[in-house]
Every structure is written in C-alpha cells, then in structure tokens.
C-alpha cells in the first residue's frame, strides 16, 4: 500500500470527529505509525500492519493485549480497530533511551511496570492468547533461513542452531506470566509523571526471565545492573540457578534478535538497515555466549 493510499484509508476511518492532520512517525520495524491530530477529539496514533506469521505477529493478539494493557493502566487507550489498523490515544510523552533504562533511578518504575504487565494485565485479557517461547521462535527462523538464501547469516546457521538447543537446556523449568517480549527503550514512554508500555506485537505467555533478559540485552546492562534488576524484580538476591537461567535467556534474546534481523533483511519491505542490525546483534550474541560458557557450563 502506497503512502497516499494509506493516508486516504486513515482519513476515512469512522472514529474521527473533526478535521484531521496526519503525520508519519519514525520507528516501527514491523508496522508503520502515524500521529493523527483531530480538531475535535485530540491526538491519536494509528498503527498500520498486517499479520506476520513468520515473526509470530498476529494482530488479533496485539489488539487483545493492547486493550488489556489499557484496562491494567499501563498502555494507551484503544479507540478503534479494524483489520490492518489499530488506533490508540496519543500519550504526550517521550520515549526512554537505553541510557535512561540503565539509570538506577529508573529501576523501580521499570520493574513495577514489568510486574504489572506480568501479573495484572492477564486479568483483563480476553480471548485466545499466543505464547512466546523464544526457543521455538528461534527454531522457526532457522528453518525459514535454511530454506532460502540466508544473507549475512548463511555461514552461521548450524552454529546458531546448536547454541539455541544448549541454551534451552540451561533454562530449565519456568514460571509462566504474560510477557511483553520486546523491551526496547523506545517501547517505554515517560509522560513526566509515570511510565507507559506500548507495542504489543510479540506479547504472549512466557517466562518472566525472558522479559528481564530482553530488557537487559536490549539496553546494555552489565553484571551489576543485572543482579540489581533480578533482586528488584524477585525481592531477594537471585539464586545461582536463577542467574544461570537468566544468563541463558539473555543469550537467547540476542539470538532471537539476530535471526529476526537476518530474516527481515530478506523479506521486509520497510526501509531499514537490517543487515547492520543483524551483524550488530550477532557480535553482541557472540560476546554473551562466550561469557555464558566461561561462567555457567
């Protein structure tokens, strides 16, 4: 769909009450986002995107999670939805940076936000819900890449498959919560008084350790910050078994991002440097896997 066609479709949505202005928003690696200024009703964000089964993104699940997130008080209100489009109320805020996510002064607010996602949001979720088991996601990407030209990852696939299997064994038994599963700094908004969580593309049932590890790996936490994060979340100094499972999940999060980038490089039509993204995450994965092997195997 061209930009002109998208603008025309947005303009015809029945949720507007006045004259609207449409402004593209930066970001969005699986969808396109637009800020709408309605002269009567205020400001909104429209997310435009279809199902992406190869990435595990199903819009019925995203919609249900967004509605439940609003009911739980951690996500903007959903005001309208139709196939391929989700309209949410605009939050006057700014996105956090990785440096701010790492700031110890933000730790309590981020942990509280994560725990509300894990334990309060499911009380409001209605309908079928997806699971996000990172190791199954990894297997799906590996299968898709092995059947096509694999871009920058072509020589790495066998090694990455073996790494994924080893990490899954190291995680061991898990608890189950409702995970956001995409803790990029850009998905956390600060309105000056509180934090909000947005973008529910990958939401689903998961271990809490994945969200913790995903937050850490996406935002450059070191060992000291990791220990503080786990102690803050669980309310106690983490056991050796918890630290091992967390470290394995941290590697798995980096592995998933690496494969996501490799697959997107071949298949996405969004203008983004996926090859650079893939190489960056592969380097970070190799460093984390080496550290894991030295400490936990």
Query: Where a domain ends, among 63, 89, 115?
Result: 89
Q: 13 to each of 20, 42, 46, 84, 259, how far by Cα in Å?
A: 11, 15, 10, 12, 36
Is 1's pLDDT higher than 80? no
Is 197's pLDDT higher than 80? yes
CATH number (domain holding residue 9) = 3.30.200.20
d(CA 117, CA 165) in angstroms, rounded, equals 28
Q: How many CA atoms lie within 13 A of 235 on its CB side?
A: 2
Shared domain check, 273 and 216: yes
Query: Where a domain ends, among 89, 113, 136?
Result: 89
Shared domain check, 78 and 113: no
pLDDT in tens, 276-293: 999 999 999 999 999 999
d(CA 108, CA 123) in angstroms, rounded, equals 23
Shared domain check, 76 and 193: no
Lowest mean pLDDT across 30-39, 55-64, 163-172: 30-39
Q: What is the mean pLDDT of residues 116-131?
A: 98
In this prediction, what percent of the chain has a pLDDT beyond 90?
87
Q: Where does the pLDDT of residue 235 fall: very low under 50, low under 70, confident under 90, or very high at 90 and above?
A: very high
Shared domain check, 105 and 207: yes
pLDDT in tens, 86-110: 999 999 999 999 999 999 999 999 9
d(CA 118, CA 106) in angstroms, rounded, equals 18
Is 152's pLDDT higher than 80? no
Shared domain check, 189 and 57: no
Max CA pair span of the chain:
62
Shared domain check, 158 and 47: no
Shared domain check, 227 and 154: yes
DSSP state string for 227-275: HHHHHHHHSSPPPHHHHHHHHHHHHHHHHHHHHHHHHHHHH--S---HH
So what's the pLDDT on residue 96?
97
Shared domain check, 163 and 26: no
Query: Cα angle vertex 57, ends 93, 167, to 5°?
Result: 100
pLDDT in tens, 23-53: 999 866 678 999 999 999 999 999 999 999 9
Shared domain check, 266 and 179: yes
So what's the pLDDT on residue 53?
93
Lowest mean pLDDT across 25-29, 58-62, 70-74, 160-164: 25-29
Q: What is the mean pLDDT of residues 159-174?
A: 96
d(CA 159, CA 11) in angstroms, rounded, equals 49
Shared domain check, 180 and 224: yes
Is 150's pLDDT higher than 70? no
Smallest Cα–Cα separation from 100: which of 208, 188, 26? 188
So what's the pLDDT on residue 203?
98
Shared domain check, 158 and 56: no
Smallest Cα–Cα separation from 13: which of 75, 65, 84? 84
Q: Name the H helices within the chain.
A: 3-11, 59-71, 98-102, 107-119, 134-146, 157-171, 208-218, 223-234, 240-267, 274-296
CATH number (domain holding residue 155) = 3.90.1200.10
Shared domain check, 181 and 152: yes
List, in order, residues 6 or more apart from 30 with CB less than 8 Å away.
Answer: 49, 52, 55, 57, 201, 268, 270
Query: Where a domain ends, among 89, 107, 134?
Result: 89
Tally of domains in the chain: 2
pLDDT in tens, 241-277: 999 999 999 999 999 999 999 999 888 877 788 889 9
Q: Which domain holds residue 98?
A: 94-296
Q: What is the mean pLDDT of residues 137-159?
A: 86
């Amino acid at each position: 769909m061209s930009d002109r066609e998208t603008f025309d479709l947005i303009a015809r949505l029945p949720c507007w009450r006045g004259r609207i202005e449409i402004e593209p928003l930066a970001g969005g690696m699986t969808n396109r986002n637009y800020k709408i200024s309605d002269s009567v009703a205020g400001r909104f964000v429209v997310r435009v995107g279809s199902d992406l089964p190869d990435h595990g993104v199903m819009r019925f699940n995203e919609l249900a999670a967004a509605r439940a997130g609003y009911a739980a008080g951690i996500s903007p209100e959903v005001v309208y939805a139709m196939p391929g489009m989700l309209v949410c109320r605009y939050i006057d805020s700014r996105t956090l940076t990785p440096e701010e996510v790492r700031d110890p002064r933000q730790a309590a607010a981020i942990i509280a936000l994560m725990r509300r996602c894990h334990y309060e949001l499911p009380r409001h979720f209605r309908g079928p819900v997806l699971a996000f088991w990172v190791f199954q996601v990894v297997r799906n990407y590996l299968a898709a890449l092995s059947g096509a030209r694999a871009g920058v990852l072509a020589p790495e696939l066998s090694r990455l498959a073996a790494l994924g299997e080893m990490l899954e064994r190291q995680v061991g038994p898990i608890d189950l919560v409702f995970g956001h599963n995409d803790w990029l700094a850009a998905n956390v908004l600060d309105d000056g008084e509180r934090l909000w969580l947005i973008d529910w593309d990958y939401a689903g049932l998961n271990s809490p350790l994945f969200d913790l590890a995903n937050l850490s790996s996406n935002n450059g936490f070191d060992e000291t910050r990791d220990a503080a994060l786990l102690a803050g979340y669980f309310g106690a100094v983490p056991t050796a078994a918890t630290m091992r499972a967390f470290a394995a999940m941290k590697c798995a999060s980096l592995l998933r991002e690496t494969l996501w980038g490799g697959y997107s490089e071949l298949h996405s039509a969004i203008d983004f440097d996926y090859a650079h993204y893939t190489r960056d995450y592969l380097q970070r994965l190799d460093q984390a896997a080496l550290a894991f092997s030295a400490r936990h195997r």
